[in-house]
Amino acid sequence: DTGVSQDPRHKITKRGQNVTFRCDPISEHNRLYWYRQTLGQGPEFLTYFQNEAQLEKSRLLSDRFSAERPKGSFSTLEIQRTEQGDSAMYLCASSAIQGPYEQYFGPGTRLTVT
C-alpha cells in the first residue's frame, strides 16, 4: 500500500472560484478525515466519513464547503466561492474502524486564494 494520496498538491485560485480536492485513503481503511492547517497552527478537524456516510462535521465547515465519499473509497472536498481566508493546507487522513484508530495523513493540498 502506498499510503494516503492527495491531488493536487498545490492549487492557486482567484477569489470567488470553486476548487475541488481529492483524497485516496489507505485501501483497507473505512474511515476518512479532512483537516485544515494554517501557518503556525495544528491541524483542525473539518469532517469525517465512515465508509460512504459523513458522520461528523465541524462548525468550521461552512456552507461553502462540501465533502463526499460516494463509494466509500476516495473522497472529494469542494470549496465554493473561495475567499482569501480559505488559504491553508488541506490534509486528508484515514484510519481503521477499531482502536487505536491511528490516523495516517496524506501530504496535503496547499490552497492559495489570491
Partner 1 sequence: GEDVEQSLFLSVREGDSSVINCTYTDSSSTYLYWYKQEPGAGLQLLTYIFSNMDMKQDQRLTVLLNKKDKHLSLRIADTQTGDSAIYFCAETLNQAGTALIFGKGTTLSVSS
User: Contact between 101 and partner 1 (CB under 8 A)?
Assistant: yes
Find the binder of partner 1 among 15, 18, 102, 114 (CB under 8 A).
Answer: 102
For residue 94, give the 3-state DSSP assignment: strand
Shortest Å distance, C-beta 42 to partner 1: 3
User: Contact between 53 and partner 1 (CB under 8 A)?
Assistant: no
User: Contact between 68 and partner 1 (CB under 8 A)?
Assistant: no
- List residues binding partner 1 (CB under 8 A): 4, 31, 33, 35, 40-45, 48, 55-56, 58, 91, 93, 95, 99-108
